[in-house]
Structure 1
Amino acid sequence: MKLFEFIAALSVTQIVCGAPLEEEWGVPTYAKLEVIEPKFFKDLGSKRARISYGPYLVPSSEDPETHGMLSFRDMNILLPCHDCLITSFTADLQYEGGKTANANTGMWLHHNGLMNLNRTDMACEHWPERMAVNGNERSVFDYTLKGTRKAGYYLREGDQVFLVTEAMNMREEARTVYMVMEWEYLPGTPAEFDIVFPIWLDVKGNCLNETNGVQKEAGVFTAKAATGWTSKYSGDLILAVPHTHDGNTLQEVYMDGKLVCSSVPAYGETAEFVSHVESDGHGHDHGESEHIYHISSITQCANVSKVVPGSHFTISSFYDYEKHVPMKDHHGELEPIMGIQFLYLARPQAEAIEHILSMKPGDLQAFTSQVGGNGGD
């Protein structure tokens, strides 16, 4: 029985998954799976699963080693399916019982990242494939563009996906959270569906090797990578999903020097994204004022452009610390900024699957050596 058939027969299941690369790179994780109603392509048999990964015990902000910031790394997470197309997914940080953990309760989803260890990265070709990265803005990754585009990410039999969850606790007491992801998918590879490939475009260089992170003490500035990414393939750039830090005002992607995507962050759209800082600046205060408004969403770009071999992409990320309070660490020091745009290139199914089946596993050790054991940016 295929995994997607097994899931369809269940309401809720709980299994143990996660195997560490080495002791400090993995934690045993329980994954609780719940089958829920799909949103799109129901006529094609689409399915949707909510999977809770955890529990993760996030230390106190007073912990002398972590100051409340800790990464949890699961080397082989429970996936909703194999031999299937992932058409969309979301990520949310929650407490026991399903309440969202966010800035207003002193808990941050600092980063959430996915890597397919059985494939190689398009932008940094010796690394495992970086599928997606998210932050406290909790973006939706929808390759179907709300059911208007037949496209998805292909998970083949045996694919092993590495999940990094970086949580930040601003309170004195240690607290338990869960990474809750909703996956929508189609069994197999339905006809007429293209296959998407993720491309990591970064102001720090696509192998994170141009700088250790741009830091500015004040003012207005722009971060740019010295290099970009050049495509070897034809296809449709159907989706561009950004990730930045507080202080960002705009992020732009250029193809062959022409602007093709502008992403603008919004701050504090709901109360969940507003933190309340004590007068003594306790914990990760991210600023000095009583109410700090944090990035709550960032605009994405859809149906961006046709891509051909030789198409060259670059990125610029704009920051204004006078307009928006930047992120600070436990000691009140500015955190390195980020400027990432995940590009999703849709390619015809037959050639895409042939390419995927020819891929070898990426060099995880090269990745961990480059990022210094910190799980990425």
Structure 2
Amino acid sequence: MMKKIQAALWTTATALAVSQRGPLPPRLPCSGESCYSVTSLEPHFFPDLQPERYKVRYGPFAVPSSFEDRDAEKSFYFRSAPPCIDCYVTNIQIDLESPNGTYANTPNGIFLSHLVMMNLEVDSVTCPLMAEPVFASGNERAEADLSLHGTYKAGYYLSHTTLLLFTSEFLNTTPFPSDAIIAIDYEFVPASLATDSGFKKVTPVWLDVAGLCSSEIFTAQVPASRTSPEFSLSMAPAWEADLSGDIISVTGHVNDGGENIEFSRNGTVVCDSRASYGDTSGDWGYAGYQKTTEHISSMSTCSFETGRIENGDLFSVTANYNLTKHRGLEDARGKLSPVRGVGLMYVIKDEQ
């Protein structure tokens, strides 16, 4: 177990977060140093399979003002038992709240730069030195729709021994410290019923412009610069697939200023995950504590139209930025943050 954890962690801070505590209770939907609360909700899908749905809140995280903190974006690492055991997670949705339960977003001066959830029990298929990324999102608050809203019997399997590791990064553009709660909505069905009904396991495939085995989650690339407002970042070398199966869902993530992230198979774009900006009032934010700019509000996804993975296929991602069209992410002092480009493909392996 210890060897697995050590191989899975990408940063010294993450290693410390794990080594400082012993095993977690395996049967609680919220446990660990950052467990906050659990709320039971009405499930949406597969009513004949005894589905359950929890909103699990993690935190609170004390995010310092980027006026005061030298590092504009503040990172937090924590681990927890999974929301269920011996189950298939069919849907994951992230949100951000204040400790009193109210909605939190850029109008409050708080910004979720990114969150990654990993399964320490399983190796990533694209980097054996890394734990398997299960879910990732930025302030667009993505949804991992693994069952295509209950129309396809598929989900991510969590075992009796699964241990989840979370890495998150916030930006606070107000003059004052702020507390933030990460709220994740999980829906799932028990494996005993799901397997008998023909459920299939989803395998996540992580792709990153910084490289498949980069030293830090969501590794930042070249600093955003107004002197070169249009640029692209591509993953190199490409990942050579050692599995085959159907691609059920694809989603990407870029920082503010990004237009899209392209997923390529053997040099041909098979999914274009595009950023939308300022679709709601909650996506308008503050720079220097003045309401000035819109932020990414969503990323488009692809599903079965993406096609298949075959053994030997070469997959890569390219993130395209235009800082003239869309203002980059800034801290309270107006400093531009670095940029990123990552994506997750969810695959149903053929051998199931």
TM category, shorter: 0.7 to 0.9
Gaps of 5+ in 1: 1-18, 353-377
Counterpart CA distance in 1 for 2:57 and 2:69 is: 29
The counterpart of 1:195, out of the listed 194, 201, 208, is: 201
Residue 165 of structure 1 deviates from its aligned partner by: 2.6
**Is 1:204 equivalent to 2:205 in the alignment?**
no
Is the CA contact (8 Å cut-off) linking 1:44 and 1:186 kept in structure 2? yes
Is the CA contact (8 Å cut-off) linking 2:172 and 2:331 kept in structure 1? no
Residue 78 of structure 1 deviates from its aligned partner by: 3.5
Question: How many pairs were matched up?
Answer: 319
The counterpart of 1:70, out of the listed 74, 77, 88, is: 74
**Is 1:37 equivalent to 2:42 in the alignment?**
yes
Match of residue 138 from structure 2: 135
Residue 250 of structure 1 deviates from its aligned partner by: 2.1
**Is 1:323 equivalent to 2:331 in the alignment?**
no
| 1:23–1:44 CA distance, 2 compared to 1 (3 A) | closer
Q: In structure 2, the residue corresponding to 1:21 is in which secondary structure?
A: helix
Is the CA contact (8 Å cut-off) linking 1:59 and 1:66 kept in structure 2? no
Match of residue 347 from structure 2: 345
1:184-231 deviation per Cα after TM superposition (whole angstroms, max 9, x unaligned): 001014231111111111111111269861234232111112212122
1:71 alignment partner AA:
S
Gaps of 5+ in 2: 1-15, 22-31
Counterpart CA distance in 1 for 2:269 and 2:66 is: 42
Q: How does 1:1-377 map to 2 (within 5 A)?
A: 20-22=17-19, 28-67=33-72, 69-75=73-79, 77-188=80-191, 189-190=194-195, 191-208=197-214, 213-217=221-225, 218-277=228-287, 281=288, 290-303=291-304, 304-347=306-349, 351=351
Residue 66 of structure 1 deviates from its aligned partner by: 4.4
Is the CA contact (8 Å cut-off) linking 2:220 and 2:340 kept in structure 1? no
Residue 330 of structure 1 deviates from its aligned partner by: 4.8
Counterpart CA distance in 2 for 1:237 and 1:30 is: 33
Q: In structure 2, the residue corresponding to 1:93 is in which secondary structure?
A: strand
Is the CA contact (8 Å cut-off) linking 1:118 and 1:159 kept in structure 2? yes
Residue 331 of structure 1 deviates from its aligned partner by: 4.8
Counterpart CA distance in 2 for 1:23 and 1:167 is: 23
Counterpart CA distance in 1 for 2:334 and 2:39 is: 41
Counterpart CA distance in 2 for 1:229 and 1:220 is: 26
Residue 332 of structure 1 deviates from its aligned partner by: 3.4
Q: Which moved more, 1:178-187 or 1:212-221?
A: 212-221
1:21 alignment partner AA:
V
Residue 182 of structure 1 deviates from its aligned partner by: 0.6
Q: Identity across aligned pairs (percent)?
A: 31
Counterpart CA distance in 2 for 1:192 and 1:206 is: 32
Counterpart CA distance in 1 for 2:220 and 2:91 is: 32
1:33 alignment partner AA:
V
| 1:216–1:66 CA distance, 2 compared to 1 (3 A) | closer
Q: Which moved more, 1:211-220 or 1:29-38?
A: 211-220
Q: Which moved more, 1:202-211 or 1:236-245?
A: 202-211
Q: In structure 2, the residue corresponding to 1:264 is in which secondary structure?
A: strand
Residue 274 of structure 1 deviates from its aligned partner by: 0.4
Match of residue 16 from structure 1: none
1:161 alignment partner AA:
L
Q: Which moved more, 1:27-36 or 1:199-208?
A: 27-36
1:35-82 deviation per Cα after TM superposition (whole angstroms, max 9, x unaligned): 111111111211111111112222233334445x3222112x142211
Residue 166 of structure 1 deviates from its aligned partner by: 1.8
Q: In structure 2, the residue corresponding to 1:20 is in which secondary structure?
A: helix
| 1:222–1:62 CA distance, 2 compared to 1 (3 A) | closer
Counterpart CA distance in 2 for 1:66 and 1:337 is: 15
Is the CA contact (8 Å cut-off) linking 1:51 and 1:181 kept in structure 2? yes
- TM-score of the two chains, using structure 2 as the length reference: 0.85
Counterpart CA distance in 1 for 2:348 and 2:204 is: 9
Counterpart CA distance in 1 for 2:92 and 2:344 is: 14
Counterpart CA distance in 1 for 2:130 and 2:318 is: 23
CA RMSD of aligned residues (A): 2.2
Q: In structure 1, the residue corresponding to 2:307 is in which secondary structure?
A: strand
- TM-score of the two chains, using structure 1 as the length reference: 0.79
Q: In structure 1, the residue corresponding to 2:90 is in which secondary structure?
A: strand
1:332 alignment partner AA:
G
Is the CA contact (8 Å cut-off) linking 1:31 and 1:78 kept in structure 2? no
| 1:256–1:180 CA distance, 2 compared to 1 (3 A) | same
Counterpart CA distance in 1 for 2:249 and 2:111 is: 26
1:202 alignment partner AA:
D
Counterpart CA distance in 1 for 2:59 and 2:271 is: 35
